[in-house]
């Protein structure tokens, strides 16, 4: 199997190379993201291995198919960037459905605790020998209500973390899991009663911009919003307005709808031309991280192993247990 690996970072090479000798594959690592301009690099490769911000639209998929690629191995869980109608009957698409739900849930918790106790600002102050704590006032999480939207693998771990803090945990899921000991409610009640709201549902047509002006108006004044799921769940322009009016008290964003132009890259010598992102970065009560919630050693090891196992199963013509159905986009 010849694998073209796109959007490669040093940590990808490290974790894939560590176990590559257990498989009979050749990997060519490309730093470029996969898109219409770079897809020609994949010509002649059996497999392309891609990540969250690679482009898998019809034009790219058709070119991959014409170039002999038979498998798209996503080294991530989310697959909202794949055009399934285009891939149907042309290429198989596999993913890594779970690599460390703890990594993501713990990062969501880190954003919540940091924003509340303002340790991101305290760090900067004390480095400048400013020991004034004015403006760093937080609140006890204990006794507050955490609203978790989406109680799949990640959301349910965050529910347990919230309970560990002594929070009341309210949950909403389109498909509630009765086997979990959770207090499920409707979305409007969750919006109305939560002090912190964390998003853990997938980005679908029905969830696109679910956090918008209307839904934010249903929330408590000063609510904290955490998004480690997908940027498209939040209408960022409305979020900015809600932060300006103090409807939203703070926001922890590991994802951003237009992140693919910026996240994972160093722009410290450049000018940010995305005014929405720049405005979000300007607020002292908004904490943006660069899609790093998954970024733990355990998660990277699991991603490498499951991705290579997916490719091995394909090479051996075995059942693709992690294939995403090319018609409905679900597994």
Whether residue 125 lies in the annotated active site: no
Pick between residue 4 and residue 286 the one whose CB is nearest to ligand NAD: 286
Is residue 161 within the footprint of ligand NAD (CB under 6 A)? no
**Known active-site residue 200:** no
- Which residue number is nearest to ligand NAD in terms of Cβ? 152
Contact with ligand NAD (CB under 6 A) among 129, 142, 206, 269:
206
* Residues sharing a CB contact under 8 Å with residue 300, sequence separation 6 or more, in sequence order: 11, 12, 15, 99
Phi, psi torsion values for 176, nearest 5 degrees: -60, 145
Backbone angles phi, psi at 11, to 5 degrees: -70, -30
Instruction: Give me the residue label for tokens 């911000």.
Output: 53
Find the shortest distance in angstroms from Cβ 238 to ligand NAD.
19
- Residue 90 C-beta: closest distance to ligand NAD, Å: 24
Q: Which is nearer to ligand NAD, 69 or 229 (CB)?
A: 229
Query: In whole angstroms, how close is the CB of 281 to ligand NAD at the nearest point?
Result: 18
| Strand pairing report for 145-149 and 168-172 | parallel
- Beta carbon nearer to ligand NAD, 233 or 240: 233
Q: Shortest gap between Cβ of 287 and ligand NAD (angstroms)?
A: 14
Residue 294 found at the interface with ligand NAD (CB under 6 A) = yes
Considering the complex, state which of residue 43 and residue 297 has its C-beta at the smaller distance from ligand NAD.
297
Q: Is residue 329 at the binding interface for ligand NAD, with CB under 6 A as the rule?
A: no
Residue from 224, 293, 303, 304 touching ligand NAD (CB under 6 A): that is 293
- DSSP calls for 264-298: TS--TTS----HHHHHHHH-TTEEE--S-TT-SHH
Helix (H, G, I), strand (E, B) or coil at 45: coil
- 32-49 burial, b at 16+ Cβ within 10 Å, e below that, comes to ebbbeebbebbeebbbbb
Q: Give the shortest CB-17-to-ligand NAD separation in angstroms.
A: 22
Catalytic residue among 127, 230, 270, 323: 230
Q: What stretch of H or E contains 147?
A: strand 145-149
In the set 75, 95, 107, 259, the catalytic residue is 259
- Residue 253 found at the interface with ligand NAD (CB under 6 A): no
Indicate whether 128 belongs to the interface with ligand NAD (CB under 6 A). Answer: no
Alpha-carbon distance of 198 to 207, in angstroms, equals 14
Cα dist from 315 to 24, 92, 219, 331, whole Å? 10, 12, 50, 20
Distance CA(311)–CA(214), nearest Å, equals 44
Mark the segment that binds ligand NAD (CB under 6 A) among 1-9, 162-170, 196-204, 310-318: 196-204
What is the distance between the terminal CA atoms of the chain, rounded to a whole angstrom?
A: 24
Q: Which residues pair with 226 in a beta bridge?
A: 198, 252
Q: Which is it for strands 196-199 and 47-50: parallel, antiparallel or unpaired?
A: unpaired
Closest to ligand NAD by CB, 231 vs 249, is 231
**Beta-carbon count within 10 A of 270 CB:** 9
> Is 316 an active-site residue?
no
Comparing CB distances to ligand NAD, the nearer of 118 and 230 is 230
Range 133-152, binding ligand NAD (CB under 6 A)? 149-152
Comparing CB distances to ligand NAD, the nearer of 101 and 249 is 101
Q: Which of 71, 77, 109, 288 binds ligand NAD (CB under 6 A)?
A: 77
Task: Return residues touching ligand NAD (CB under 6 A).
Answer: 77-78, 98, 101, 104, 149-155, 172-175, 200-202, 206-207, 228-230, 254-255, 291, 293-294
Q: Give me the active site residues, please.
A: 230, 259, 291
């Amino acid at each position: 199997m010849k694998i073209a690996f796109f959007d490669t970072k040093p940590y990808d090479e490290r974790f894939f190379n560590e176990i590559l000798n257990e498989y009979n594959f050749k990997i060519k690592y490309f730093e470029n993201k996969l898109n219409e301009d770079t897809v020609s690099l994949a010509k002649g490769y059996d497999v392309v291995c891609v990540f969250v911000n690679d482009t898998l639209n019809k034009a790219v998929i058709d070119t991959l198919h014409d170039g002999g690629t038979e498998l798209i191995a996503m080294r991530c869980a989310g697959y909202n960037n794949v055009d399934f109608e285009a891939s149907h009957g042309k290429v198989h698409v596999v993913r890594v459905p779970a690599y460390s739900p703890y990594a993501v849930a713990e990062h969501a918790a880190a954003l919540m605790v940091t924003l509340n106790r303002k340790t991101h600002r305290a760090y900067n102050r004390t480095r400048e020998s400013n020991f004034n704590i004015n403006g760093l006032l937080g609140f006890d999480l204990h006794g507050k209500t955490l609203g978790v939207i989406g109680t799949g693998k990640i959301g349910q771990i965050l529910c347990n973390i919230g309970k560990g803090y002594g929070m009341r945990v309210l949950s909403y899921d389109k498909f509630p899991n009765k086997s979990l000991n959770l207090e499920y409610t409707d979305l409007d009640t969750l919006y109305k009663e939560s002090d912190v709201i964390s998003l853990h549902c997938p980005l679908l047509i029905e969830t696109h911009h679910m956090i918008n002006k209307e839904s934010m108006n249903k929330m408590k004044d000063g609510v904290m919003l955490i998004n480690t799921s997908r940027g498209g769940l939040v209408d960022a322009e409305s979020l900015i307005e809600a932060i300006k009016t103090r409807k939203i008290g703070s926001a922890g964003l590991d994802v951003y709808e237009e992140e693919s132009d910026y996240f994972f890259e160093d722009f410290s010598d450049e000018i940010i031309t995305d005014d929405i992102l720049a405005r979000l970065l300007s607020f002292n009560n908004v904490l943006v991280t660069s899609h790093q919630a998954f970024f733990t050693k355990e998660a990277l090891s699991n991603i490498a192993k499951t991705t290579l196992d997916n490719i091995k199963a394909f090479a051996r013509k075995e059942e693709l247990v992690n294939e995403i159905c090319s018609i409905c986009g679900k597994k």
